[in-house]
Amino acid sequence: MIKPAQTISTLIIDDDALGREYLKDLLAKHCPDAEVKALCKNGKEGIRAIQKWQPDLIFLDIEMPGMTGFEMLRQLPSLPCEVIFITAHDRYAINAIRFAALDYLLKPVKPAMLTDAVGRATEKVRVKRFPPQYRSLLNNLDHPREEHLINLAIPTIEGLLFVKLAHVIRCESDDKYTKIFMVGKKMVLASRTLADFEDLLQSSGFVRIHKSHLINTRHLKKYIRGEGGQVVMSDGSTIIVARRKKDELLQIVAQFR
């Protein structure tokens, strides 16, 4: 006998009526395990629905009048469920979400992106793994400029490790993984590629100076001239700078130091 799939109780919180119905229809068509319990038009309705239904998954619009999605989260002492944020292209908000290793969807929502996000959420729901990412996200959002995002969620084989961004000295490629070197001679192996970290951190004072190395310019102690040159970091490490990366490095150092 085939065991029936576990349904994922779901809420949609969005001030746009058409957007709510559109997402509900997409879920019915592409993610039938996500059982929509309620459609909420604002944060107040969302809080009441969360208390009533205790959902597994929430789709939460960020830009809502009266109470934004982030402000709604601040009203909740705990949130033992998954959240997928829905937003137009708000660069700072998206970066804060990504720093916390949370999921988001851009409007208009595309079916392929939706199914991927719901798949990741379903996996976490079924093992009841809800790390404290939302507090990390809200802490980052208290800082009004991207370079001041302070907490970074690092995915590892064991789970998520939350670190202060200012403590990250450099990142080094290790095939499909990345070695992250931090203050205090600490090193953690992250289950993301160096390209992933470059994409995430490039607006926060990090620069890829070599195909295998990404550095935090705030931990740069010395630049040694040469064809590309070399850098000496705060942990004493010396790294060669690729010739084609020299100008980019010097420009970013001038911007963030």
- Written as one letter, the residue type at 1 is M
Q: How far apart (Å, rounded) are the C-alpha atoms in residues 70 and 113? A: 22
**90: exposed, middle or buried (C-beta count within 10 Å: 0-12, 13-18, 19+)?**
middle
- Enclosing H/E stretch for 189: strand 186-190
Q: List, for residues 192-222, the tens digit of each pLDDT value.
A: 999 999 998 988 889 999 999 999 999 999 9
Range with lowest mean pLDDT among 6-20, 142-156, 232-246: 142-156
What one-character-per-residue DSSP string does 207-245 give?
Answer: EEEETTEEEEGGGEEEEE-SSS-EEEETTS-EEEPPGGG
Q: Any idea which architecture 8-140 has in CATH?
A: 3-Layer(aba) Sandwich (3.40)
Average pLDDT of 48-71? 94
Q: Supply the pLDDT for residue 129.
A: 58
Q: How far apart are CA 117 and CA 106, in angstroms?
A: 12
pLDDT at 86: 95
Closest-CA residue to 24 (of 35, 16, 88, 117): 35
* Greatest mean pLDDT range, 128-142, 176-190, 221-235: 176-190
Structure confidence at residue 135 (pLDDT): 74
Q: What is the reported pLDDT for 251?
A: 82
In this prediction, residue 1 carries a pLDDT of 36
Region(s) of the chain under CATH 2.40.50.1020: 156-256
* CB proximity list for 158: less than 8 A, separation 6 or greater: none
And the tokens for 164?
């202060």
Q: Is pLDDT at 89 greater than 50 in this prediction?
A: yes
In this predicted structure, what is the pLDDT of residue 5? 59
**Higher pLDDT pick, 98 / 130:** 98
For CATH 3.40.50.2300, the residue range(s) in the chain are 8-140
- Output the pTM of the full model: 0.77
Q: How far is the C-alpha of 151 from the C-alpha of 106, rounded, in Å?
A: 23
Q: What is the pLDDT of residue 158?
A: 84
pLDDT above 80 for 54: yes
Tens of pLDDT, residue by residue over 2-46, are 334 578 999 999 999 999 999 999 999 999 999 999 999 999 999
* CATH, range 156-256: 2.40.50.1020
Distance between CA atoms of residues 89 and 131, nearest Å: 26
Q: Which of 61, 66, 63 is nearest to 84 (CA)?
A: 61
Residues written for the chain: 257
What does the pLDDT read at residue 204? 86
**pLDDT at position 88, please?**
84
Give the C-alpha separation, 40 to 107, whole Å: 17
The pLDDT, as a whole number, for residue 219 is 95
